Each structure stands twice: as C-alpha cells, then as structure tokens.
Structure 1
Amino acid sequence: MTAVALSLSDAGTEEAFHAPNRVPEVTPAFWLIKLMAVTMGETAADYLAVNLGFGLTTTTLIMSTLLAVVLGWQFAQRRYVPHVYWLAVVLISIVGTLITDNLVDNFGVALTTTTWVFSLALIGTFTAWYASERTLSIHEVFTAKREAFYWLAILFTFALGTAAGDLIAEHFGLGFLATGILFAMVIGSLSAGYWKLGLDGLWAFWLCYILTRPLGASFGDLLSQPAEFGGLGLGTIITSLCFLGVIAATVLVISVRQGRGQIEA
C-alpha cells in the first residue's frame, strides 16, 4: 500500500516508480570523484579567470552556458550514465565557485553574507523539494522534477561551500592547510555519527556533500597557490590536470563495470 501510494504521488504511474535512478549510489568511488571534482572546480576556475585572462564575468558566462548544455544532455538520460553525470558535476563545481567569486570580488558582497545567502537558498531548495515530492532521497531521483531539485541543491552546495571555505581560510585567516584539516575533521565526525550513533543518512550525506567543497578547495589552493600565499606552488594547470586524470580514470572504471553488469543482466 505504501509503495503504491508513493508511486502515484511521485510519478503518477507504476512504471515511473520502477524507473532507474538517474544519479549514482553513494560509494567510496562516489566520494573520491566528488572530492576530486570540487578540488578541480577551484583550480580550474582560477586558471580560466586569472591565468587565461578571461576574467570572472566572461568565464562565468562561458562555463554557465557549457553547464546548461551538459545538463540538457544529463536530463535526456533515463538512467545514471557515469561520464555524463560526472561531467555535469565538474562543470557545476566550476560554476558554483565562479558565482561566489563574482559576488565577492566583482560586487563586493562580504563572505559572511554570501555564506548566509547560499545557506538560505539551499534550505529553501530542500523545503520546496520536500513539499513537492515528500522526500529528499537521492535513491529515488527518477523524474525530471526530482532531478531539477537535485541539481539546484548541488549548485547551491558548491556556492555555499566556496563561500564558507573562503570565509574560514581568508577572512578568519586559518590558511589553506588548517582549513582543510578542520573540514576533514567535521566530515569525519559526521561519518562517525552515521556509522556509530545513528545519524540520519540523508542529512549526513548532504552535510558531507556541502563540506567536501571547502575541503577540496582548501587542498586545491594549497597545492596550486604560490608559496607567498601559503601554497606549494604547483600551479593551477598541473593541479587541475592531476585531479582531472583521477576523475577520468575512476569514471572509466565505473563505466566499464556498469557496462559489464548490464551485459550480464
């Protein structure tokens, strides 16, 4: 009875209820790619805007247009397709970073303000998502409406994570390494709460998803920024390519395994 009611309210048909999920299951590979993607989002945004001289506004327009195209490709899928999904994640990571950087650097909005604004925007997205679908589950993203809420929430997590990370690392002066360690400890505490103390898995997931953004960005800046700014001086190109290589290799392995599974099925 409960399954039938959920099916009717979510999609209107039993077929929609049994439709495949359009987003990945949460596995160690998921978190590995996510962390690499957010780190690359920070360094790639810096490379495009600063090193190539496009500037924040032009870079934001270009990457937002590219993101819109890839999201259209993603929405056209009726199941989880690794290379399409993760390309969208990488691009939305870059765009989320650029949105925050634009507000702070071009419009003079304080990091405390952007942190609060994107926190409220994310809360509003979750509220509207739950009001419409009666669930925030990432295991049941099988309609276009749910996927739209999902990607909007992800965009705000990246923008919020950028603002919160910069607030702590720059405004409060902790530096890249200390900020990364701080967020790693918080994520570790949430993970322990989930595995040992019964913390709700849904909120543990979304909180960790938000916090991996400043975690990755902090270590990305640590690797790429010059020594006078507290970094190791590897540069944005090398850092971005290294993380892109890890992402590509992991996605390839996932795609091959998924293809084998479909053949066997």
Structure 2
Amino acid sequence: MNTSAEKVLSKVPEVTLVFWIIKIAATTLGETGGDAVSMSMNLGYLIGTVIFAAVFLAAVFAQIKTKTFKPFFYWTTIIATTTVGTTLADFADRSLGIGYAGGSTLLMALLFGSLFIWHRTLGSVSVSTVSSPKVEVFYWVTIMFSQTLGTALGDWTADTAGLGYTGGAILFGASLVLVAAFYYWTNVSRTLLFWAAFILTRPLGAVVGDFLDKPLSAGGLALSRYSASAALFAFMLTTILLFKQRAAGSAH
C-alpha cells in the first residue's frame, strides 16, 4: 500500500462494535433532528432538505479535504447524511405523494444504481479501496442514498405494514443480528455484509427516533424532538471521546 492510499484510508474508521453503536445513535439523531427542523420549526420538508443538503455538501467537502481520519469530521458528515436523508425521504413520500412504497422503491433503485456505477467505475465497493477523492464521492453519495432509503423503509414498516415503532425496531434489530451471524459463521462477502448492516441501521434509527418523539396516541413517547436530539448528540460525543477509533486498514 502506498503512502497516499494510507492517508485516504485513514479517514475511514475501523468497523467495530463502537462504530455500529455510534452509527445507530447517529441515524436516530438524524430522524429526531430532521423532524425538529421540518416539523417542530414548521419549515417543511423541502426547506429542511435544502438546509441539510447544504450542510451535507459542506461536510463532504471538508471530509474530503482532510488528510487523515478525524472522528469528528467523519461523524459530522454521517449525521449530515441522516438528517438530509430524513427530510428528503419525507419530502418524496409525503409532499410528492408517491407514498412509502414508491419512495422506498425509487430510493432503492438509486442506492443500487450508485453501488453499480461505483463498482463498474472502480472495480470494488469495499471501504478499504477508498484511495482518492473520486472514491470518497462515491462513498458519501452511496451512504446518503442508504440513509434516505432507510428513513422510507422505517416509515413504511411502522405505518403501512402496521408493525408500529416497537415492531419495526424488533424487525430491523433482528435483521442486524442475522447479518452479524453471517459475519461470524459464514464466508459471505464482508463488503456485502457491511453494506447490508449499514443500510439496516438507518430504518432501525428511524423507527427508534419516531418512537421517541411521536405522540402517545401514535405509539410514541411524545418526547421533545429538541431534547431527544440533544441527548443523542451528547451520547455520540461522549462515546467518541471515551472510545478511541482507529482508521480502517482492511476490507469489511
């Protein structure tokens, strides 16, 4: 591995249990934070999407410009993808009127299309191949699509499928346990399992976030979106400070 590749690789965190804990907290924060801006502030899904899209683009630009792995830069960008994913999915599902099924289908096509083009262009979609700004752009666009899809899937499962927030959390939590079982006890592609887990953490965060802030009559806890977002942010910050993350150096 050459020096320039190491510098870029060092910007991607090692995928450990701590990584997944922070990722789930970030996706939950994306749901409560996105809803706080679009609903609690009454700015609407379109304005919320414009605001968070600008934050997302700025965060990706800063992340690409860094020379080494910086946890705060990385997780700020992840949070940006979850918030823009929340408002964008809600805008597609509700404001455009295509529904959860239509929104999920469209976003799944965009996600798989991004992975397909990434693979065809560079030969791999493993995070260990991140070795240039071009690969990082593919990486972050794919993550943004996965976060948006996860929001739509979470809403679809909890509302249209009738599982509710608790049922949705159990479904996606069990799916993640299944992915973990495949990781430890089979030889299934680690890259495939990484993206499967990455995608599944988003609908889990979506239903948990909705459970926290939706009204009691809708099956939620009716917590303030602002206080829930602040608590989740504090948890993420504390975890990042307490558990030192290393840069990834191998495929996942």
TM-score by length of 2: 0.92
Contact residue 141 and residue 147 of structure 1 kept, 8 A: yes
Equivalent pair of 2:31/2:209 in contact (CA under 8 Å): yes
Do structure 1's residue 251 and structure 2's residue 245 form an aligned pair?
no
Indicate conservation of the 8 Å contact 1:82/1:254, yes or no. Answer: no
2:249 corresponding residue in structure 1: none
Aligned AA for 2:181? A
Q: Does 1:186 align with 2:175?
A: yes
Q: Is structure 2 residue 96 aligned with structure 1 residue 107?
A: yes
Matches of 1:103 and 1:71 in 2, distance apart?
23
**Where does the alignment leave 5 or more consecutive residues of structure 1 unmatched?**
4-13, 259-265
**1:106-145 residue pairs with structure 2 within 5 A?**
106-145=95-134
Determine the structure 1 residue equivalent to 2:55: 66
Is 87-96 or 114-123 further displaced after alignment?
Answer: 114-123
- The answer on whether the counterparts of 2:166 and 2:211 sit within 8 Å (CA) in structure 1 is yes
Deviation at 1:65, TM superposition (A): 1.1
Report the CA distance between 1:198 and its aligned residue.
2.1
Q: SS in structure 2 opposite 1:166?
A: helix
Aligned to 1:16: 4
CA distance in 2, matches of 1:188, 1:54: 37
Counterpart among 66, 70, 78 of residue 89 in structure 1: 78
Instruction: Check conservation: 1:25, 1:139, Cα contact below 8 A.
Output: no
2:77 aligned counterpart, secondary structure: helix
- Secondary structure (helix, strand or coil) at the match of 2:181 reads helix
Unmatched segments (≥5 aa) in structure 2: 247-252
Residue in structure 1 matched with residue 23 of structure 2 by the alignment: 34
For the residue of structure 1 that corresponds to 2:229, the secondary structure is helix
Q: 1:65-109 CA deviation, whole Å, 9 max, x = no partner? A: 122112111110122111011001001100011111001121101
TM-score, length-scaled by structure 1? 0.88
Whether 2:141 is the aligned partner of 1:152: answer yes
Amino acid at match of 2:106: V
Match among 47, 56, 63 for residue 45 of structure 2: 56
Q: Counterpart in 1 of 2:201? A: 212
Deviation at 1:164, TM superposition (A): 1.1
- Matched with 2:188 is 199
The structure with the largest alpha-carbon Rg is 1
Task: Please report how far the alpha carbon of residue 20 of structure 1 lies from its aligned counterpart in structure 2 after TM superposition.
Answer: 4.1
Between 94-103 and 244-253, report the one with greater CA deviation: 244-253
Q: Percent same amino acid at aligned positions?
A: 31
- Point out which structure has higher relative CO (alpha carbons under 8 A, 6+ apart): 2
